[in-house]
Structure 1
Amino acid sequence: MNPRGVLLDLDGTLVDHEGAAAAGLRGWLPTIGLVATDEAVARWSAVQEPHLAAWRDGRISFAEQRRRRVRDFLGTRGSDAELDEIFAGYLTHYESAWCAYDDVADALTALATAGLATAVLTNGSRGQQLRKLGRTGLGDRVGPVFTVDDLGVAKPHAEAFRRTCDRWGFDPGEVLSVGDNHALDVLGARAAGLSAVHLDRHDRGPAGEPRRITSLRELPAHLSAG
């Protein structure tokens, strides 16, 4: 079945989160007396995932996952207010580096020309993700935005996709999910009855994924694939 709607991930798919995070860290660390080495950037990325996973599972708040990341990265045990202030310094630099990938505008135009509806499903918090879309010029182009805050459940849980489709007004079988995280955006979507395409921008695999693209410009060719 040809899709009626294309459900897009945000970070790593529409907006370069990795690039913004690295730029944000390199701008922030010198302000707190630390050197922004490649190792520091890699460690910041590594320490975040367990805490983001705990937030996605509903075990901690969004603010708490930020605090735990700061604790692990800096080895500090400050109060919640102190940790929030520290993270705010990073956030300022991170947000200033937000930008859309250069293939996004063309892809959205192609999808609109094909008569397909688009929407965004993201594991980010609603306020931040709406600001991100607005600041990168995508806010009026992507359709409705669904977040963990709205749905009460995060990707890769199949219920996140089912609730999104229900609120969007489509059956899961009418929707194609597109995202850079294979486990979250592809396997989770398929478990809910959607079709899915993996956007593998950095050639990280997994090997053997039959519906794989390296740029959103390749997406139109996959719209009617099985």
Structure 2
Amino acid sequence: MIFFDLDETLFDFKAAEYLAVNDFFTQCVEQSKLNADDFYQLWCEVGKTHFDRFLRGELTFEQQKIERVQEIFHRSGVQLSDVHAQEYFQIYLNCFEENWKTFDDVIPALTALGNHRLGIITNGDSAQQRQKLEKIGIIDYFQVIVTAGDIGISKPNTEIFEYACRLAEENPADCYYVGDNMDSDIIPCEKIKMRGIWLNRKNKNKNHTRTINNMEELQNYFINESVTSKSGLV
């Protein structure tokens, strides 16, 4: 069975986020002392802080939305109530959802892998991650979908990988996991004997036995070579 990460592996999260933050900046924070690029960097920094708190169970998914917007405005000297923060976040979210899409190589690869059982293991809120899969048109490719929000456990905790394998009724050693992040995807999945395949879209200067630069390489591997040392992915 082949499991996949979602954000930045199948779903072009950063492109959607960048466009949405710029739209939000234009609509809501034109009087900020920051320019649009600096505001985007601040949004990413603050967003990661509060989303990590959600993954650790310190905040609900809704609370992390509120607190990230409140912190961003607080840094400009503006205090927002929870209600106003929710309203502002909804403006961002509308822009974000309008820009959801897969990477261009995803649907051809998933279609070509139709003879394999496919699954998703992803951090994030259960409803939103499934909404992404549905809106970008790929949810029907997957027999098993596991999110951190489903079970209260997030990557890099190995328990989420173990849970997904049990749900799929598969031995971890018989499963592959494709992800873009070495620390939260590849290293932890390999601790339970899954075969991690690092999707290195940005050509980072790191080495791993099973590395691909795009989904076409993954497609060619499973279709044409199965499990062979020639591909370097065994």
- Output the TM-score relative to the length of structure 1: 0.90
Displacement of 1:57 after TM fit? 1.6
State the AA in 1 paired with 2:25: L
Please state whether the residue corresponding to 1:177 is helix, strand or coil.
strand
* Kept in 2: contact 1:51–1:68 (CA 8 A): yes
Shift of 1:209: 2.1
Q: Higher mean Cα deviation, 150-159 or 76-85? A: 76-85
* TM-score normalised by structure 2 residue count: 0.87
The residue aligned with 2:18 is 22
Counting only pairs closer than 5 Å after superposition, residues 166-185 of structure 1 correspond to structure 2 as 166-185=166-185
- The whole-number CA distance in structure 1 between the counterparts of 2:153 and 2:68 is 21
Residues in 2 aligned to 1:60 and 1:193: alpha-carbon distance in whole angstroms: 32
- SS of residue in 1 equivalent to 2:2: strand
TM-superposition CA deviations, 1:14-68 (whole Å, max 9, x none): 1100000001111111111327622221221122222222211212211122222
Tell me the equivalent position of 2:54. Answer: 55
Secondary structure (helix, strand or coil) at the match of 1:140 reads helix
Residue 192 of structure 1, CA deviation: 2.5
Mapped to 2, the partners of 1:25 and 1:174 lie a distance apart of 40
Unaligned runs of 5+ in 1: none
Identical columns (%): 28
Matched, 1:218 2:220: no
Residue in structure 2 matched with residue 155 of structure 1 by the alignment: 155
Q: For residue 97 of structure 1, what is the aligned residue in structure 2?
A: 99
**One-letter amino acid matched to 2:137:** G
| CA displacement at 1:85 relative to structure 2 | 1.4
Shift of residue 168, structure 1, vs aligned partner: 1.3
Are 2:138 and 1:138 aligned? Answer: yes
Q: Which position in structure 1 is the counterpart of 2:4?
A: 8
Kept in 2, the 8 Å contact 1:6–1:177? The answer is yes
Using a 3 Å threshold, how does the CA distance of structure 1 residues 104 and 40 change in structure 2: closer, same or farther? same
Q: Which runs of structure 2 are paired with 1:68-87 in the superposition (5 Å)?
A: 68-75=67-74, 76-87=78-89
Aligned residues: 219
Cα distance in 2 between the residues matched to 1:79 and 1:171: 49
For residues 185 and 194 of structure 1, the distance between their equivalents in structure 2, rounded to whole angstroms, comes to 11
SS at match of 2:140: coil
Would you say the 8 A contact 1:151–1:164 is kept in 2?
A: no
CA deviation profile, 1:110-169 (whole Å, cap 9, x unmatched): 221xx3100111112111111111111112123321111222201110001001110111
Secondary structure of 1:197's partner?
strand
Larger-gyration structure (1/2): 2
CA distance in 2, matches of 1:99, 1:189: 26
Contact 1:156/1:184 (8 A) holds in 2: yes
Give the aligned partner of residue 38 of structure 1.
37
Contact 1:190 1:196 in 2 (8 A): yes
Give unpaired runs (5+ residues) of structure 2: 228-232
Assess if the C-alpha contact under 8 Å between 1:62 and 1:125 holds in 2.
yes
Question: Aligned equivalents of 1:66 and 1:204: distance in 2?
Answer: 31
Which position in structure 2 is the counterpart of 1:126? 126
User: Any conservation in 1 of the 2:120–2:142 contact (CA below 8 Å)?
Assistant: yes
* Matches of 1:102 and 1:153, distance apart in 2: 30
Using the TM superposition, give the Cα deviation of residue 203 of structure 1 relative to its aligned residue in structure 2, in angstroms.
Answer: 2.0
> Given residue 28 of structure 2, which amino acid in structure 1 is its aligned partner?
I
Runs of 4+ aligned residues of structure 1 deviating over 3 Å after TM superposition are none
